[in-house]
Amino acid sequence: MSDTELDRIADACLTWLAGDVAELERFMTLAGYTPQSLRGAVGTAGLAHGLIDYFGRNEPLLLAMCANTGLDVGHVMRLWNRLNAHA
């Protein structure tokens, strides 16, 4: 997995959440982010992993995001599996 691949998918996840305030608030609450700390975390590996994990654990959200961004669901789930291989 390349950093570029991780960043590209995480950016798609964050962009999707930015369009749904309620879902963004839910992610922030579950991940422990405030608006300020989320802004500070943009571009970090920790946020990228958290975003991909959030979508990987929520199939309806994952399917909607992939359908609207053109990402392949299987590709996102393979990345999610690699990120969680040692969990």
Mean pLDDT for 8-18 is: 96
What the block records as the tokens of 25 is 């608030």
Q: Exposed, middle or buried, 60 (CB in 10 Å: 0-12/13-18/19+)?
A: exposed
Mean pLDDT for 32-58 is: 96
State the distance between the two ends of the chain, measured CA to CA, in whole angstroms. 17
C-beta atoms surrounding 84 within 10 Å: 13
Domain boundaries, the chain: 3-83
Q: Tell me the pTM.
A: 0.91
Confidence of residue 85 (pLDDT cuts 50, 70, 90): confident
Express each pLDDT in 20-32 by its tens digit: 999 999 999 999 9
Tracing tokens 């946020």 back to the chain, one arrives at 47
Collapse the DSSP code of 9 into the 3-class scheme (helix H, G, I; strand E, B; otherwise coil) and give the result: helix
